[in-house]
Amino acid sequence: MANLQRDFELRAYPGIKKTLHHMQSSIAVMGLDNKLADYLDMDLYDRVNSKQVKENLDFIAEICNKAVEEAKQYLIALNNNN
């Protein structure tokens, strides 16, 4: 997420696309690929303005951060049951 933020601030859209590409497998493993598929479309970032890119990246961050928090809570619950 830090790379996405940095590349957005630098308007380095090829970097954004590269980072999103690398995130795809992790997003799929977490079961978020259907929810984020439209936001991971690399061609999209060639067609939208910076405001839309920012909104997309904010949405991706929100969903990913929620997923990480859910995973942490799940691990805590597992550890408490053992």
Taking the model in full, what pTM does it have? 0.85
Q: What residue has token string 């939208």? A: 48
Q: Looking at residue 45, what is its pLDDT?
A: 83
What does the H/E/C string look like for 43-80? CHHHHCCHHHHHHHHHHHHHHHHHHHHHHHHHHHHHHH
Distance between CA atoms of 50 and 48, rounded to whole angstroms? Answer: 7
The token pair that represents 39 in the structure block: 């936001």
Q: What is the mean pLDDT of residues 43-61?
A: 90
pLDDT of residue 23: 92
Q: Percent of the chain at pLDDT above 90?
A: 77
pLDDT at 51 over 90: yes
Q: What number of other Cβ atoms are within 10 A of residue 42's Cβ?
A: 14
Q: What is the residue-averaged pLDDT of the chain?
A: 91
Enter the tokens of residue 5. Answer: 């933020």
Residue 74: predicted pLDDT: 93
